[in-house]
Structures are given as C-alpha cells and as structure tokens.
Amino acid sequence: MAYLLKGVSILGAAPTDLAIVDGVISDKAPDDAQVIDATGLVALPGLVDVHTHLREPGREDAETVETGSRAAALGGYTAVCSMANTSPVADTAGVVEQVWRLGREAGLVDVQPIGAVTIGLAGKQLAELGAMADSAANVRIFSDDGFCVADPRLMRRALEYVKAFDGVIAQHAEEPRLTEGAQMHEGEVSTRLGLTGWPAVAEEAIIARDVLLAEHVGSRLHVCHVSTAGSVEVLRQAKARGVRVTAEVTPHHLLLTDELAAGYDPVFKVNPPLRTRNDVEALRQALLDGVIDVVATDHAPHAVQDKECEWSYARPGMLGLETALPIVLSVFGEKWDLIADRMSIAPARIAGLTGHGGDLSAGTPANITLVDPSARWVVDPAELASRSRNTPYAGMNLPGRIVATFLRGEATVLDGKAVK
C-alpha cells in the first residue's frame, strides 16, 4: 500500500506532501496511493523506546509482546527495546531470540530484546553476552533492570566485554544497601508519612561509580531512568570530560512528584520513586540541555492483584507507552526538534537500530508517527491497549493524539486505531 500524507507538517515546518511507497519515503506517490488529509498534523520519525517491559515470557497476564507492541504503536512507537526481567530471564540466546521472534510475528513495532547482564539477574555471574550479541536478536543493550549490577568488579567486566561489539550496559542505578525496605523517595514527605525512604544518593553513588568505571574501561554506559538533580550533576561533569555515557528520563519523572504518595495509591509507586519538584525541574532542564539524552517510558505493566493492594505490597511500575508523547508535549510544548531527537533519533542511535530515528527524507525507511497536537483527550485506563491498567494519568486531560503510525511503510495505526 502506498500513502500520500497531504499537507503534513514535518517536525513543525510549513505544510507539504509526504509519500510512502514500497516501505520508504518518496518524493512522488503513485496514482492509487491512499490519500490521508494531514492538515494540521505533524510527522515525526517513529518513536523509539529504549526501556520497555513486555512481560513475555512468564507474566502474560500483565502484558504480552503483542499487547505491548500494540500499545507502543498506538503511542507512536516503531521500535521498543524489551527489558530482560522476564521469566525465564532473557539471559540466553534462546530467550532473546524467542522475544525477538514474537515481536516480528506481532509485526506492530520492531521489538529489540535487551539481554541480562548477569545470569538470572542475580548479580553474581556474567550471562552469555557474546552469544546474545551473535544471536538472531543481535542484542546490543544489556541490563539487569529492576536490579542494579551492584558488584563493581562484575560491572567492570561487563563494560569490558561489550566493548568488543560496541554494546552498552544499561544500569538501573540503585545502591541496594541504601534502599533496603524503601517505599518511596526519602525526604519531607516520607518523614511525614512514616515510610522508609529511598535516598537520592543511592542512585547518585552508583552513577558516579559507573561513569568512572566506563571512563577507565573506555566503554559505553547508559543510565536508566535518572530521577534526581544530583544525578544530573554527576552526568553533566562526566559528559564534559568525554565519558561515553548516555542517560534516559521517564515521562513520569518529568511530571509527577513524591507528594502523590500521600494518598497511598500504589499506582504512584515506582522505582526509582517519584522525587521532589526540584528534581523534576532539574530533569527537565537536563533533557533540554542534552545532559539527558532520551525519554524512555519504563513501561511497566502489572496485573491488578499486584497493583491494587496495600502500598507496601504493591509492585513498583507504571504504564507509559500510550501516554509518553502527550506527557512530553504537555511538559515542553511543541518543541518538535527536541521531541524527535530525544524520543526517536537519540534512542535509535543508543540502541543501534538502523532504519529508525531517520530524518524523513526521500529514500529512508518509512518509520513515521503522525500526531495531532491540537487534539486533547482524557486518559481512560479501560481504553488503553495494554493488558494492564496501572496508568498514573487516569482522568488527566492531555494534549496530542497519535493519528497514524507507519512501520516500514505499513500502517500499524490509522485514524487513531490499531490496524491489527
């Protein structure tokens, strides 16, 4: 199928026509192309998420590769990197190939598996990183996300190992000895509520250590879900020295604060926890400055019984794929170049995903997101495509609807609805 997007604004520029033919962007559409009136719509390179939990294999009651892929496409994504904390853990070539194959079968986004750093995420022994890199899944990002690779010797060896194939270690920065029993951000609110705190320094200490290790080894480090102003300062200094470090921030850490814990609604429980207004401001500035490279969703679907319970028993994590772009739009406004870079171009570069994060010029793969920035919508958890319902944005009125998403020229979303 060929398409002609009539009157579309590419990254906010003056309206033009954009044709999609045989999977690539073209100067000219054939006569039988399906015409889409794109007046008032903005075209972006298809969004890329470097941090998604798809839960399959093992927790298909919370999400599957297919339902998560559909949520991603509806959120404007054309590629997602799926985290390794499945059951079994994605720590072998067999499991990463299984996830990769399920993603191709669903055919809604490119699912790029992330491999575990250590066997079983146990933090004791390196997983077979080379075998996962050489597999059909072509793994380049490795992460024990959910857990920190706390052992500095193991972290050093992992960084050394992935250097051979330009891989990257994505660290969930949390010094576990400093967060034992933690329920929320350590600060005024946790003191008032009498909940055990997760101190900012538990994140900052690991990032500081890891940028030194990455610098020493000359390898690539990626820092997952940066959440504190202090972490931003550590990253700013490391980048100024030329350390090969990249970092992500989640939409929820760009918007929400620890005050929300006061209602004890576990939908606001997440790891790292929601921080203070001061942290939120520092993270926003860091994304604008480029100290933080990308917005990543940390989409973390959970089954009802794991979320609708007492705060202390609830699993940490929030849905993110279907609301990420609207949240970023609501925080930063229509800064399309910033959005394209932080949500598509930079994440594709970090993940090594060729064909994604392009510039929408003729001849490039037609991975495209079409957004209506003027449309507002109210988030209704029951209407989300994710199998889970744990969105912290329920009832919020957000700007920006995804009208269409194209994966290599095939529409995965049209008129705001999933095609399959």
Q: Footprint of Zn ion on this chain (CB under 5 A)?
A: 145, 172
Sheet of 77-82, strand order? 47-52, 77-82, 110-113
Q: Which is nearer to Zn ion, 172 or 389 (CB)?
A: 172
299 is in an annotated binding site: no
What does DSSP assign to residue 87? S
Q: Report how far residue 387's alpha carbon sits from residue 418's, in angstroms, rounded to the nearest whole number.
A: 15
356 is in an annotated binding site: no
Dihedral angle, C-alpha 348, 256, 263, 323, nearest 10 °? -50
The set of catalytic residues is: 298
Alpha helices in 218-276 (DSSP H): 229-240, 251-255
CB of 382 to Zn ion, least distance (A): 27
Alpha helices in 109-228 (DSSP H): 129-134, 152-163, 188-193, 200-217
390 is in an annotated binding site: no
CB of 173 to Zn ion, least distance (A): 9
CB of 334 to Zn ion, least distance (A): 30
Residue with CB nearest Zn ion? 172
316 is in an annotated binding site: yes
DSSP string, 17-60: EEEEETTEEESS--TTPEEEE-TT-EEEEPEEEEEE---TTT-T
CB of 37 to Zn ion, least distance (A): 41
Q: Which is nearer to Zn ion, 139 or 318 (CB)?
A: 318
> How would you classify the pairing of strands 141-142 and 184-185?
unpaired
Other CB atoms within 10 Å distance of the CB of residue 290: 13
Other CB atoms within 10 Å distance of the CB of residue 121: 22
| 402 SS3 class | strand
252 is in an annotated binding site: no
Q: Which is nearer to Zn ion, 172 or 239 (CB)?
A: 172
298 is in an annotated binding site: yes
Beta bridge partner(s), residue 138: none
Q: Which is nearer to Zn ion, 339 or 351 (CB)?
A: 351
Q: Which is nearer to Zn ion, 25 or 117 (CB)?
A: 117
CB of 325 to Zn ion, least distance (A): 21
- Binding-site residues for substrate sit at 53-55, 85, 271, 302, 316-317
